Structure formats: structure tokens, C-alpha cells
Amino acid sequence: MDCRILIADDNTDAGDTLGAFLEALGFEVQVVRDGQAAVECVAERMPQIVILDLGMPRLDGWRACERIRALPGGGGARIVALSGWGASDARAKSKEAGFDEHRTKPASTTELFALIRRR
């Protein structure tokens, strides 16, 4: 499967586990620990799918999404919020920031794979 995926999550276990799962499915995956690193990675590698936690250091997921969307080509990435914050105000803020999807942790592997296949 020719698809580059970026995961940004400050929770090492969550990010690394999701990354290992997606790599086992054949995807090219990079994992970073904060929103600023996610923006920098997208600018360099332009992944097709970006999975962002929302509560991260240096730059939260919402601001990272806004900055990714502002990059040349950033509008073409599928950006998914994957966070413990699932209340309606967090979802509304995600939509406003430019996310394509907002999912609450823990998301099932079936659900994540379906999100990725819809790219």
C-alpha cells in the first residue's frame, strides 16, 4: 500500500503502538511527539494522512492542523484528530481547524483502517 502516514502524539506508547500497527499493514509511517514537529514533517515529506492528538506540547493538534492546511499542498492531506477529547466543543473546534475527521481514543483498529482507506 503506497501511503505515507504521519502520527503526532505526545503519548509515546499510543503513538508507537499505532505506528507499529500501521507499519505491519504495509504503510510508510513516521511518528513525532508534538504539533510543531508534525508541521515540520508535513512540510518536508507531505504525507497523505496525518493523525494528530490534540493535547500536545509546543503546538496543540488544532493549531498544527491549521498550519498544515496553510502549507503548499497541505489542503490535500487527510487530517484526522485522534484524542481523548470527544465532547461536542472539541469536535466543533476540530472542524473549524480543518480536520477531516475527529475520533476519540481508543479507536478500534477496524475504524482506523477504514479511515485510512477512504483517503
Note the pLDDT of residue 113. Answer: 80
The pLDDT-based confidence of 119 (bands split at 50, 70, 90) is low
Nearest one of 118, 58, 67, 71 to 97, comparing CA atoms: 67
pTM, full prediction = 0.94
Q: The cell 488544532 sits on which residue? A: 62
Question: Any idea what the CATH number is for the domain that residue 15 is in?
Answer: 3.40.50.2300
Q: What is the pLDDT of residues 9-59, one digit of tens each?
A: 999 999 999 999 999 989 999 999 999 999 999 999 999 999 999 999 999
CA atoms within 13 A on the CB side of 30: 18
Q: What is the pLDDT of residues 66-86, one digit of tens each?
A: 999 999 999 999 999 999 998
Q: Which residue range(s) make up the domain with 37?
A: 4-117
For the chain, how many structural domains are there in total? 1
The pLDDT-based confidence of 95 (bands split at 50, 70, 90) is very high
